Structure 1
Amino acid sequence: MAAVDWSTLPLDLLGDIAMKLETLEDFIYFSAVCTSWKRVSSLIKHQWKPTVPWLLLAENTSNNPHCVRKIFSPSNNKCYKLNLPEYFGAKCWGSDYGWVAMVDRNFNVRLFNPITKAEIHFPSVKTIPDRPIHEEVHEVTEEEYITWIVGCFLIRLIVLKASETEFVIAVIYGNYDHLAFAKQGDKSWTSVFVKQWYPHIKMFDIVAMDGYVFALYNDASLVYWNITDFQGHELVYPMDYSLSKLEMIKEFRRGLGELYLVQSGCDLLMVLRFKKEVSRLDVDYETFSFSVYRLDPKDRRWEEIKDHATLFVGRSSTMSVSATCLQPNCIYFTDDEDDLTPPGQGGHDMGVYDMKREKKWRFYEGDDIRSVFNTPIWFIPQL
């Protein structure tokens, strides 16, 4: 039998094959096969989207003159290196749109693509409502003030897609009790009305789904807004969507843990992450289990589930992935204990948790120093 000349395959067939690739590595290997395959990859690269995220690891802040930052790929358990001098020293949050949100020490806010280096600029942190100015924070140096604002005061930056070409950034800040947003081209941030039940009820995460923005509180309650309301310049009020409280949430709030809100296909999931209790001087904290709940929109209740797509969680980014190269019913998690980590320590609580077998394992053992200003983040790479 004569050998097949793969370079002569029809371009439309090659395009269909390339569109089914799941990882950026496979797409790059595909484009390197021959001239015709490279041509096809060039034609479709703006339509093709990988499904498997990368983990942008914490910066090595010592003996790193070229500002190299490592990226871990869970599909092949390999680390790659990127030179990112333009963004070195900034606090970053990931997304599944190919962009990473960042705030630098000058309070500039940008979306940037780590692969192409493209940027989208947003209003400065200085225009966020209710931000304490340096003069109001007594006995704090300017350097300490900058670290506190970017590393602690800004809790989460979430990238929302308002349309095919327009992005909105929402920021949870303060004591988990303030929310603001800005879209491309805005000059300042706009406040969002945050529904308050009790002083200890805090907003933990938000996500955009089906034209709405949902916010999750640490008592398992939800509120939501229409995403079009996040494109104006007026105070936005939520629509009521309070849910029955879960009994286990009471125990969850007493211990150490995190809550995440994740869109998975047509479902809205709540992920509970449980960690053993530690003192503030003890860095030996450890995640030991997860629980996943699906929102029943008809009854407005959370129901626990065991079968779901692969989930990626962390305070800096959450996402759901359906990929054949990854195990289903597993949760990939990053270290996100900012307030429990002494300077120069932390970053070790990263791994994979198998929901079926109720077992976990670490997926990366590195020497990267993690701090409140420097956390590992999930993001979907995009060419």
Structure 2
Amino acid sequence: MAAWSDLTFDVLEHITSFLPLPDHYRFGAICKNWRSISKLKRHPPTPQLPWLLLEDDKKTRNRKFYCLSEAKHYSIDILELHGRYICGSSYGWLFAVDLKITGILINPFTRECYELPPFPGYSEYTNVTTLIENVPSDYNEEPIGWTFEEMQPIIVWKAILSHDPKERSDFTAMILFGEMNEPAFWRPGDSSWTVIDGLDCSMDDILYFKGNFYVVAAMNLLCVVDFECKPKLIEVGLEIPAQISVEGCGLQRYLIDFNGHMLLIERFGHSDKNDKSITDGFIVIEPKLEQNCYKIWEDIDGYALFLGRNAGIHVDSCRLPKCKKNGIYFTHPTESISPVEFGFHDLGVFDMTNKTIGTFYSVEVFFPHVDSPVWITPNPW
């Protein structure tokens, strides 16, 4: 058997195409020759599970990541993310917002970055001094005034991209902002965000699907963004009844492009005694726009979905055996700012086969209310 040091350049480069991201970096740490090969990045890493982006380390300010496939934490110093909270993830890029409500779009693994203009609705909040007028009586606390910095999480609810900026420079960024999660978009070169005329209800999620942006609102109201003349939302005309349990209530709706199928996924559950949202399950619906009908999915063909503040991610569990088949991995940010309880409300994995909720992250971690865990697919290529 030949020594590893004697392997040819082409063979070593081919080996890198089978390595997940952590092993790719370990490969490059062996020696100068292997490091030069790893930097070529002509072969993307083998398919991998998303990572969970966690909070800053308070001492080092490094950003914490949780690698689901290895069940291991990584601490990475990303200067651009110091003091910022994350409001979206798409194609491995992050939307990060600072105390002044200015944002950046950044690939945390390559440090490529776009400066974003001030988010719409900024002036709406500059004079607001109180977010919560009355604290629930259970807390036995006096009403508390909140600073502008503490109100950051409600400025941008979610942000996604139409394309990977490394592949197309003419991408579009879409956000849901403000108390009603109104939609707005930005393209490279724009000096400001363009607000889209919406509906008199709060938006839940956004999706770029087959050349169009779609938005889902309460009661599964589905709209498409019309960019002609003055951008506005147009209802697609398809009525999808709210698929909620008898004892539960609809908590959140998600949109995802699943192998060319648009899926609308409803998270339902209940509130506990502390008024925290607890997930009981999910309903997967496929709106068939051309036929003006919908279909309920009983499973997701052995795949796994990853939902939250990220653009929806799906992976083939057959190729990634450490991932639960027909599982919906979810995270959910704090829905209200509480003076007593901090951290995320809900995090787990739903098994569509036996309709149960399980855990994938056993470490108990409480986050400050200005941040929440976000799924991200590492994209250093």
User: Could you say whether these structures have the same fold, taking a TM-score greater than 0.5 normalized by the shorter chain as the test?
Assistant: yes
1:347 pairs with one of 344, 369, 372: 344
* Counterpart amino acid of residue 291 in structure 2: D
Once the two structures are superposed, what CA deviation does each residue of 1:264-292 show, in whole Å capped at 9, x if it has no partner? 1211111222222235x445x43221221
The residue aligned with 2:147 is 144
- Give 1:1-383 correspondences, 5 Å limit: 3-5=1-3, 15=13, 18-21=16-19, 23-32=20-29, 38-45=35-42, 51-60=48-57, 64-125=58-119, 128=120, 131-135=123-127, 137=128, 144-148=147-151, 150-161=152-163, 164-194=168-198, 196=199, 199=200, 201-225=201-225, 229=227, 235-248=230-243, 255=249, 257-279=251-273, 281-283=274-276, 285-308=277-300, 309-322=303-316, 324-325=319-320, 326-339=323-336, 342-347=339-344, 349-383=346-380
Are the counterparts in 1 of residues 243 and 266 from structure 2 also a CA contact under 8 Å? Answer: no
Look up the SS of the partner of 2:162 in the other structure: strand
Structure 1 residues not aligned, in runs of 5+: none
What is the deviation of 1:261?
0.8
How far is 1:17 from its partner?
5.1
Higher helix residue share:
1
One-letter identity of the residue aligned with 1:248? Q
Instruction: Report the CA distance shift for 1:39/1:134 in structure 2 as closer, same or farther (over 3 A).
Output: closer
Q: Which moved more, 1:258-267 or 1:4-13?
A: 4-13
SS of residue paired to 1:28: helix
Answer whether contact 2:236 2:289 (CA < 8 A) is retained: no
Q: Distance in 2 between matches of 1:134 and 1:348?
A: 27
Residues 89, 42 of structure 1: alpha-carbon distance in 2 compared, 3 angstrom cutoff: closer
In the TM superposition, what is the alpha-carbon distance from 1:237 to its structure 2 partner? Answer: 2.6
Aligned mates of 2:234, 2:345 — CA distance in 1: 39
SS of the residue 2:40 aligns to: helix
SS at 1:334 equivalent = strand
Q: Mean alpha-carbon deviation: is it higher for 41-50 or for 69-78?
A: 41-50
Instruction: Tell me the CA shift for residue 87 of structure 1.
Output: 1.9
Q: What's the counterpart of residue 135 of structure 2?
A: none
Q: Using the alignment, how far apart are the partners of 1:13 and 1:265 within structure 2? A: 33
Other structure's SS at 1:352 match: strand
Distance 1:109 1:49 in 2: 31
1:73-118 Cα deviation digits (max 9, x unpaired)? 1112111112235423322034242211011001211012222333
Deviation at 1:344, TM superposition (A): 4.6
TM-score for the superposition, normalised by structure 1: 0.81
Work out the CA distance in 1 between the residues paired with 2:11 and 2:280.
46
Contact 1:168 1:181 (8 Å CA) reproduced:
yes
Which letter maps to 1:147? E
1:118 aligned partner, one-letter code = E
Question: Size of the alignment, in residue pairs?
Answer: 361
Secondary structure, counterpart of 1:102 in structure 2: strand
The 1:296/1:139 distance shift into structure 2, 3 A limit, reads closer
307 and 248 in structure 1: CA distance in 2 versus 1, 3 angstrom threshold: closer
Shift of 1:250: 9.3
CA distance in 2, matches of 1:225, 1:17: 44
- Residues 98 and 379, structure 1, Cα contact 8 Å, conserved in 2: yes
Query: How big is the shift at 1:66?
Result: 1.3
Q: Matches of 2:50 and 2:185 in 1, distance apart?
A: 25
The answer (yes or no) to whether the contact 1:105–1:146 under 8 Å persists in 2 is yes
**Whole-Å separation in 2 of the counterparts to 1:307 and 1:178:** 32
In structure 2, relative to structure 1, the CA distance for the partners of 1:45 and 1:348 (3 Å cut) is farther
* Structure 1 residues 138 and 330: CA distance shift in structure 2, 3 A: closer
- Measure, in 2, the Cα distance between the counterparts of 1:123 and 1:346: 28
1:210/1:18 CA distance change after superposition, 3 Å: farther
